Chain A
């Protein structure tokens, strides 16, 4: 049974009346409307239906129209769009098997190589949005708005509710009021949003993919002193204002993303890439998706693929040699495995974790 009690009645009636699709799942996570998933009877594939409010007096079909216009392998495809009555419309897209990137990050161990591949995919899609003739900025890039195929790990930029076209002869638009925590410096200080602001948000996504400290609950960004102050504030609106103020200060002072919270195997070069993508100074931030892509390309050529599983750190190099580091009573142990070989201990280190990781870098 679908738990779609929250959905509006006309939408539920429409869903029940369908004969060419089998609707089997409802999601209340859709940001600006109801979301159902189905199987298309004739083609046999999975699809998603996103319902939204439709007002004939104003243009409310921006999202499906944009999806139709922009064709790219990393941008969600659109199958169809229809108006169901004078209040509701919907559009049909493929159901992406892994769901959104937010859930994917929470439920999976993501290696550095996978994190970089996903980021590259997002940048390729974003580059298509930014380029002529579109000249769009997304303005709300965050893991919830990226879908991911669980088999190919290909990301798809979705949710175009905040997208805006940069007018000719201008290089910015007004900042969106969406997700506060992903706002770049220039959106807070000058209330502007540029293509580089989208790049900032992709930098934050890379930081999250690499498992840097990025709590979901806004209150968790506050330190003890701030939390005490928060508890003394009455009224939820005032409390929320205070939380936003604290987070703003972190963004403005470049302390939101703490590179020291990244796993020990994230090396300086990769941290430098995150810093260049999220720098508050626009002259130091990547100018374009291509510059960000180039940095990741240059990094990937020499880097090992790292991940941590149950307190064991694994690495694989380009020639498929494998390494694992784990703790014993005597200190840290490094074992290596040549391609098609067996695990052997490698004692060319002092037994310290940093020393072993530096040795493998």
Chain B
């Protein structure tokens, strides 16, 4: 089984993908993060979508999920509006359902289960936890 966890941070989508194959294997490769630098440039937006969809098509993930973030502007740390644009762009993928998982769900899971998988880069930690959770749930 192959899963992909996505953690959106501002204008950057951070990825971690794992596969259960005699243990947990990190299959993220070079697709660790993707930044939408200019969200007003149509060309950049199209290219962003092309890269992501092409990655999804090639990897044939069994599960894909995005880490849910607070939508309220009154939240203690309001999230960048561009991050919601990224969510929408990722959701336009037609071949597979894109789920949303709350960070609390992940925290609750790891209270009862040990973390046995570490991603290549520390900035992928949240995406990696999500990918691992998808694999085990």
Q: By the criterion CB–CB under 8 Å, are B54 and A124 in contact?
A: yes
CA gap between A130 and B35 in the complex, in Å:
25
User: Which of A91-99, A157-165, A168-176, A292-300 sits within the interface?
Assistant: A292-300
Q: Which residues of B contact A293 (CB under 8 A)?
A: 47, 50-51, 54
Q: A289: which of B30, B37, B38, B54 is its contact (CB, 8 Å)?
A: B54
Asked if residues A290 and B35 are in contact (CB atoms below 8 Å), the reply is no
How many inter-chain residue pairs (CB < 8 Å) link A and B? Answer: 60
Contact A301 B31 (CB under 8 A): no
Residues 27-60 of chain B, each 1 if its beta carbon lies under 8 Å from chain A, else 0: 0011100110110010010011011001101111
Q: Is the Cβ of B50 less than 8 Å from the Cβ of A120?
A: yes
Whole-angstrom distance between the alpha carbons of A120 and B44 in the complex?
12
Contact of A127 among B34, B37, B41, B57 (CB under 8 A): B57
Q: Which residues A157-210 have CB closer than 8 A to chain B? A: none
Q: B37's closest neighbor in chain A, by CB?
A: A301
Residue-wise, chain B 1-41 has the 8 Å CB interface mask toward A (1 for contact) of 00000000000000000000000000001110011011001
Is A130's CB under 8 angstroms from B58's CB? yes
Of the candidates A290, A295, A301, which one forms a contact with B58 in the assembled complex, judged by CB atoms under 8 Å apart? A290
Q: A127-B54, A301-B38 are in contact. Are A290 and B48 (CB under 8 A)?
A: no
Within the complex, the shortest CB–CB distance from A65 to chain B, in Å, comes to: 22
Q: Within the complex, which residue of B31, B44, B57, B59 is in contact with A294, where a contact is CB–CB below 8 Å?
A: B31
Chain A residues 330 to 349 lying within 8 A of chain B, measured CB to CB, are none
Contact A288 B34 (CB under 8 A): no
The answer to whether B51 touches A318, judged by C-beta atoms less than 8 angstroms apart, is no
CB of A62 within 8 Å of the partner chain: no
In the complex, per-residue mask of A266-304: 1 if CB is within 8 Å of any chain B CB, else 0: 000000000000000000001111110111011011100
Query: What distance in Å separates the Cβ of A124 from its nearest Cβ neighbour in chain B?
Result: 6
By a CB distance below 8 angstroms, the chain B residues around A128 are: 57
Shortest Cβ distance from A302 into B: residue: B37
Number of interface residues, chain B, beta carbon within 8 A? 19
Judge if A131 is at the interface, Cβ distance under 8 Å: yes
Q: How far is the CA of A127 from the CA of B37 in the complex (A)?
A: 24
> B51–A290 contact, CB under 8 A?
yes
State the CA gap A123–B35 with chains docked (Å): 20
A300 proximity list for chain B (CB < 8 A)? 44, 47
Provide the bound-state CA to CA distance between A286 and B59, in Å.
Answer: 14
Interface size band for A: 20 to 34
Residues of B close to A290: CB separation below 8 A: 31, 51, 54-55, 57-59
CB distance from A353 to the nearest CB of B (A): 29
When distances are taken between beta carbons in the complex, the residues of chain B under 8 Å from A297 are: 34, 47-48, 50-51
A291 neighbours in B (Cβ, 8 Å): 29-31
Shortest distance between the CB of A317 and any CB in chain B (Å) = 12
> Is A132 in the interface zone, CB < 8 Å from B?
yes
Residues of A within 8 A of B57 (CB): 127-128, 131, 290
In the complex, A120→B47 CA distance in Å? 9
Chain A residues with Cβ under 8 A from B41's Cβ?
A: 318
User: Quick check: A287 and B30 within 8 Å, CB to CB?
Assistant: yes
Instruction: Give every chain B residue within 8 A of A127 (Cβ-Cβ).
Output: 54, 57-58
Distance to closest chain A CB from B20 (angstroms): 18
19 sample A-B contacts, Cβ–Cβ < 8 Å, listed by A number: A124-B54, A127-B58, A130-B58, A288-B29, A288-B55, A289-B58, A290-B31, A290-B51, A290-B55, A293-B50, A293-B54, A294-B34, A297-B47, A298-B34, A298-B35, A301-B35, A301-B38, A301-B44, A318-B38
Interface residues of B, Cβ cutoff 8 Å to A: 29-31, 34-35, 37-38, 41, 44, 47-48, 50-51, 54-55, 57-60
Q: Given A120-B50, A289-B54, A290-B54, list of 13 further CB < 8 A pairs?
A: A131-B57, A288-B29, A288-B55, A288-B59, A290-B51, A290-B55, A291-B30, A291-B31, A293-B47, A294-B55, A295-B30, A297-B47, A298-B34
